[in-house]
Amino acid sequence: MLLTKKYGDFALVTGATEGIGKDFALELARQGFSLYLVARNETKLKSLQTELSKMGAKDTKVLSLDLSESKNINQLFEITKDISFGLIVHAAGFGSGGPLHELSLENEMNMVDLNCRSVVQMSHHYIQKSIQKQRKLGLILFGSLVGFQGVPWTSTYAASKAFVQSFAEGIHREYRSKGIDVLSVAPGPVASGFGSRAGMKMSMAQSSKGIAKICLKALGKTETIRPGFLSKFLGWSLITLPRKMRSILLQQIMHDMIFPKGAKS
């Protein structure tokens, strides 16, 4: 079934200018959706809008907003109140790396606001609208490989993704009988701007290209997907270990990504 036939013509993508979010914007345009793209960087948004237009995409609108602030999400709701989004891809998020006491508290709290609170706020809003209008809804949220156990040196980020994973699993089962499909995407390392913002050297990372297509095929069929070979390989390698051992192993991997060789942690 065409996704536009199932969910309608309009899709919203946050975090749309880089990595997996951008791949979703490109893939949804190919599949015939009219898009509303949200990210912080207005220049990159307009560049993506131009790229989509050259592809022959249908109507694409862009909005520069920092969704870590609740008032900005309410602004998004108000601006788009007359648009019936049938597909929501909430890819906005970021991470950090290093000893917790050395990291900016403001940045850590901002991360929790974006990675967790905004997910609840947006999910609540669009699920409520879907039920009120008796329309189908596809809701794609983003967990992570690190969200299945505590991970030293990126404790806040890993915890935020554990929240998203648990939240997505819960609402998947709450609403699957009401025409609402919820999917948690739990990737491993992906080549994007994530590593530089988080202060991590990601020597092993998969391309974001093609991830959206894989996830869209899984929407409505499962509750969690680890897209791509690297995500599957790392995920299934770790899942066979006890939770404590997963944390220990990821502690070493994260240490090597954050601290230069010979540096004390």
Q: How many CB atoms lie within 10 A of CB 88?
A: 24
Cβ atoms of 31 and 204 closer than 8 Å: no
Dist. CA 29–CA 238, nearest whole Å = 35
| DSSP structure class, residue 30 | H
Burial of 30 (0-12, 13-18, 19+ CB in 10 A): middle
Strand partners, 184: 141, 224
pTM of the model: 0.88
Cβ atoms of 10 and 85 closer than 8 Å: yes
Dist. CA 178–CA 88, nearest whole Å = 16
Mean pLDDT throughout 234-243? Answer: 71
Res. 231: pLDDT tops 70: no
Res. 34: pLDDT tops 50: yes
Over the stretch 162-196, which tens digit does the pLDDT of each residue have? 999 999 999 999 999 999 999 999 987 666 555 45
- CATH class assigned to 7-258: alpha beta
For residue 105, what are its two tokens? Answer: 């508290």
Q: For position 195, what pLDDT does the model report? A: 46
Mean pLDDT throughout 248-263? Answer: 70
Per domain, the residue ranges of the chain are 7-258
Higher pLDDT, 127 or 207: 127
Catalytic residue among 7, 36, 126, 157: 157
Picking from 137, 111, 114, the residue whose alpha carbon sits closest to that of residue 14 is 114
Dist. CA 78–CA 11, nearest whole Å = 16
Report helix angle 19-30 to 211-218, nearest 10.
Answer: 70
The answer to whether 157 is a known catalytic residue is yes
Question: 198 falls in which pLDDT band (50, 70, 90)?
Answer: very low
